[in-house]
Structure 1
Amino acid sequence: MRTALYIPGYNHSIHFINIILYIPEFYNYRAFLCPKLRRYKMKISKRKDGRFGTQIRTPDGKYKTIYGKTSKECRQKAYDLVAQLEDGSYVKSDKTLFKTWVESWKDGYLIGVKDSTKRSYTGHLRAHILPEFGEKQIQSIEQSDIQKFCTKLYKEKQLSPKTVRNIHGTLHRCLCDAITAKLIRVNPATGIIMPKKIKPKITPLEESDLHAFYSAANGDPYGPVFSFLILTGMRINELAGLTMDRVNLDNQTMIIDRQLISINPVKFSTPKHDRARTVSLPDSAIKIIKTERANQARFKLLTGDANFNTHGFVFCQNDGSPIGHRSVYEHIKIIAAKIGVPALRVHDLRHTYAVLSLQAGVDIKTVQESLGHHTAAFTLDQYGFVTDGMRSASAEKLDKYVNSYVK
């Protein structure tokens, strides 16, 4: 039953239509009035179980059924679906498992990605992501599931914030490409709250430890490698991939434009940030290179192997093969234990180079370029504690200089 209320000067025909638009019982009239809804022939009806439902035809010719606890909820869901159909973002129901999509993703969606990055993706998937989501249908993965996953990595597995962010980045990239493949409509890995990023502590060798380090490294097979890292600030992968055709002994420079990412078979990749750089070599580094070349010539003569070190590595094993991470790690731990710095890492030698350079008065831009950092601001942020000390020392020097003229 409808009650009419006359209001002078009011367009009652419009008022009646508005009543129809917002009363569920008259929803079919609303569908008739809306061209898009009329096109999809949507009709909401009440089911025996008390829910409301409607069907909308999708581009594949099938009908998608939508349910809601109320007519209003069902209607809103129908509007959302129609919007997706109109703007082309609709994704049909699919029961593809996440692990099935991962295999397709690795085979067809990582074109142009560096091999080192692919290895990182594969490691994250195998160790963490697939055990959690592998057996789930990709369309059933929700944002709350990924939030719980990242929280568990940090709190239960006690992974560092950086590692959690890297794993999440792999998952986000994988799901982002699933949108392109029309498997999902939105990326559930978007908007995840990550653990607070903690700036890693820089632990270079102290000046008091340097003499002990060189003494302990003297005679070690990898002693020249460690010395070269301190003198140049190279990353270990860059040093392992350094070949003689990248070294100019006359100008005392070397070009760092690649890194070694695989020993067997030998594979190279561009350096971090894809930034090639030219680095000046001090006399001590030149001496190390010449000594290594002489040793390699001697080993080649002893082995009689014509294919000895065919790639021309500056540093290699006694059989001519490239140096490996595991061996380098094992030897630096032996040296670290001898000098009483058990926490020393290979990468700390790179930090040692940066600190020594800044303390020697090398400007921050030159240090940044030698290290291959993306910006000088990053280098300054990493080693700001050194420049702080230098500012204090310079202030003291200035004070003494000025006071020398004050009588």
Structure 2
Amino acid sequence: MRPSTYLTYHGYIENHIKPQLGKIPLNDLTTLHLQQFYKKLLAEGRVERIEAQKQPKGLSVKTVRNIHQIISSALKLAVEQRLIAHNPADGCALPKAERKEMQTLPVEQLTSFLREAKDSGVFALYYIDLTTGLRRGELLGLKWSDIDLEKGDLRVQRQIGRINSKIIEMPLKTKNAYRTLPLSADAIDVLMQQRRKTGNSEWVFPSPTGGPMSPDSVLHMLHRVLKRAGLPKVRFHDLRHTFATLALQNGVDVKTVSGMLGHFSAGFTLDTYAHVTTSAKREAAKTMGNILSGAV
């Protein structure tokens, strides 16, 4: 198991499973207990903390299904070791995972968004994300030692996450996520200005106390900037989608975009952004038709 996966599972166990199910004897645990537990997680499972006060109280379907997987695996082992006769997790009806619709910021909205981000003092954070397509944790995990302003590149080496209400450094989830990205001239200028602002902090985007920023706080800032700019609310991950969509629409090949995003394969990227590539193929067909129309 990868270290980051272990830490995530550990957080699920400490924050959710142990507090709710830890006092029930193993032989007394039933499918009904688990169903009630999952229902409660969906309704009010979010760990209480300051950054989460205005967020929905329930956990996502994906998180609940991940928690079920942990419980089911543990109970399967208990059956194999003859500690219990059967696995109560086998009879659970799980909530269906819903694929969230991808949203992007159209080009005509980016100017308003970045103008408001600059007025709010968070321009560098969102500009760099839009020019690199970094995941939120990867962006917050950047240290100045990862940036070579002379060569113009950025190395993705770690991510920032939260375990047991603590903000910590974590390894990246896959080997493909460890990557080096080129920086445009404008991005280098933005980072130079950011370097002067951060003083002695090792983090490119530090919190007010000098440590890494909370993943929740940058999401709240994003929503504030969008609201002030009069733009619809999007997820932080949609900034990554915006980067990928604009790159593909402007002729960057799928393999290059896949590498920049840190995807495990170009096929996954192609599947994720099929709507973009399909549109591009139609435009290519139309262009070729116009070029060859005189020969028909």
Q: Report the Cα offset of residue 176 of structure 1.
A: 3.7
Alignment TM-score, normalising by the size of structure 1: 0.61
1:294 to 174, 196, 209: 196
Q: Which moved more, 1:213-222 or 1:110-119?
A: 110-119
With over 3 angstroms needed to count, the CA separation of the structure-2 counterparts of 1:195 and 1:213, relative to structure 1, is same
Q: Report the Cα offset of residue 295 of structure 1.
A: 2.2
Q: Give the letter aligned to residue 273 of structure 1.
A: T
Q: Which structure carries more relative contact order (alpha carbon 8 Å, separation 6+)?
A: 2
Q: Which moved more, 1:202-211 or 1:339-348?
A: 339-348
Pairwise CA RMSD:
3.3
Q: Deviations over 1:281-308 (max 9, x none)?
A: 22222222211112234xxxxxxxxxx4
Q: 1:9 corresponds to which residue?
A: none
Q: 1:115 corresponds to which residue?
A: 7
Q: Report the Cα offset of residue 280 of structure 1.
A: 1.9
The answer to whether the Cα contact below 8 Å between 1:222 and 1:328 also exists between their aligned partners in 2 is no
1:336 aligns with 2:237: no
Q: Report the Cα offset of residue 151 of structure 1.
A: 6.7
Q: 1:171 corresponds to which residue?
A: 71
- SS state of the match for residue 234, structure 1? coil
User: Aligned equivalents of 2:205 and 2:248: distance in 1?
Assistant: 27
User: Aligned equivalents of 2:278 and 2:132: distance in 1?
Assistant: 23
Aligned residues: 282
User: Aligned equivalents of 1:180 and 1:285: distance in 2?
Assistant: 55
User: Aligned equivalents of 2:141 and 2:203: distance in 1?
Assistant: 7
Identity %: 30
The answer to whether the Cα contact below 8 Å between 1:114 and 1:269 also exists between their aligned partners in 2 is no
1:137 to 15, 25, 48: 25
Matches within 5 A, 1:264-275: 267-274=168-175, 275=177
User: Aligned equivalents of 1:140 and 1:392: distance in 2?
Assistant: 60
Q: Report the Cα offset of residue 205 of structure 1.
A: 0.7
Q: Deviations over 1:131-169 (max 9, x none)?
A: 3x4443212334465457557766999865423312312
Where does structure 1 lack aligned partners over 5 or more consecutive residues? 1-109, 298-307
The answer to whether the Cα contact below 8 Å between 1:154 and 1:195 also exists between their aligned partners in 2 is no
The answer to whether the Cα contact below 8 Å between 1:255 and 1:278 also exists between their aligned partners in 2 is yes
Q: 1:280 corresponds to which residue?
A: 182
The answer to whether the Cα contact below 8 Å between 1:296 and 1:318 also exists between their aligned partners in 2 is no
Q: 1:242 corresponds to which residue?
A: 142
- SS state of the match for residue 272, structure 1? coil
Q: 1:6 corresponds to which residue?
A: none
Q: 1:406 corresponds to which residue?
A: 295
User: Aligned equivalents of 2:242 and 2:232: distance in 1?
Assistant: 16
Matches within 5 A, 1:378-393: 378-393=268-283
Q: 2:98 corresponds to which residue?
A: 198
Matches within 5 A, 1:68-147: 114-125=6-17, 130-131=19-20, 133-143=21-31, 146=34
Q: 2:110 corresponds to which residue?
A: 210
Q: Give the letter aligned to residue 150 of structure 2.
A: D
Q: Report the Cα offset of residue 210 of structure 1.
A: 0.9
Q: Give the letter aligned to residue 272 of structure 1.
A: K
With over 3 angstroms needed to count, the CA separation of the structure-2 counterparts of 1:291 and 1:111, relative to structure 1, is closer
Q: Report the Cα offset of residue 212 of structure 1.
A: 1.1
User: Aligned equivalents of 2:187 and 2:107: distance in 1?
Assistant: 19
The answer to whether the Cα contact below 8 Å between 1:332 and 1:346 also exists between their aligned partners in 2 is yes
